Amino acid sequence: MSEALDELFLFGEEKMEKAINQLHKEFGSIRSGRANPMILDKVIVEYYGAPTPLRQMSQVTVQDGTTLVITPYDKTILKEIEKAIIKAEIGITPNSDGICIRLAFPPLTEERRRETAKEVKKLGEDSKVAIRNIRRDMSDDLKKIEKEENLPEDTVKDNQDKIQKLTDKYTGIIDKSVADKEKEVMTV
């Protein structure tokens, strides 16, 4: 196999891997009735004039599966952290005791679970579209390589099959991730 083909598959798989990682990151910010520190990833606190991610300035622990406990390293910043959590609109009201902030995750209603499951499916579909776009780009690049290097027809066909197998592998990973997340969301 030529160097150009090796690069094609290397970059293609790398992009597909990034699409999967992005999906998992998005799944982490979806509420499922369980406390998950990743929901705080989008909370940014004004700390001495600099926007700082909450998880860099505090310890976040999960207590009893449904409560997040946020303990800031600097206790003087508690009020700003509370404001930032409210501003981030994560759907949970912070509860401060002067030392730490507790976020109690209420159980999701059946209707909210169904909406969340639909959201999970949509994210999965979006990721599949991204994977298919990567497949299309890889096929286009394969055609360019075929013209540049005068590749035999059977080599091109084998590589097209290889691109499809790679695509199938990653769409399978997406399907499993979506199924797992839906199960987590629907479990009471």
pLDDT per residue as tens digits for the range 2-17? 788 899 999 999 999 9
Report residue 163's pLDDT band, with 50, 70 and 90 as the boundaries: very high
- Residue 64's pLDDT band, with cuts at 50, 70 and 90, is confident
Query: Residue 131, SS3?
Result: helix
Q: Which CB contacts under 8 angstroms, 24+ apart, belong to 104-113?
A: 104/66, 104/67, 105/31, 105/33, 105/34, 105/35, 105/66, 105/67, 105/68, 106/33, 107/33, 107/66, 107/188, 108/31, 108/32, 108/33, 108/185, 113/33, 113/185, 113/186, 113/188
- Residue written as tokens 């606190």? 45
Whether the Cβ atoms of residue 102 and residue 68 lie closer than 8 Å to each other: yes
Rounded Cα–Cα distance for residues 12 and 104 (Å): 42
Residue 8 CA to residue 138 CA, distance in Å, equals 7
Domains and CATH numbers, the chain: 3-29+109-186 (1.10.132.20), 37-104 (3.30.1360.40)
pLDDT band at 113 (very low <50, low <70, confident <90, very high): confident
How far from 165 is each of 10, 12, 162, 173, CA to CA, in Å?
14, 12, 5, 12
Mean pLDDT of the 136-158 span: 91
**Cβ-proximal residues to 188 (8 Å cutoff; 6+ apart), any chain:** 33, 107, 113
Q: How many whole angstroms separate alpha carbon 41 and alpha carbon 59? A: 13
Residue 106's CB is within 10 A of a number of other CB atoms, namely 11
Q: What is the mean pLDDT of residues 144-157?
A: 89
CA 124 to chain centre: 10
Is residue 182 within 8 A of residue 121, CB to CB? The reply is yes
**For residue 107, what are the contacts with CB-CB under 8 A and spacing of at least 6?**
33, 66, 188
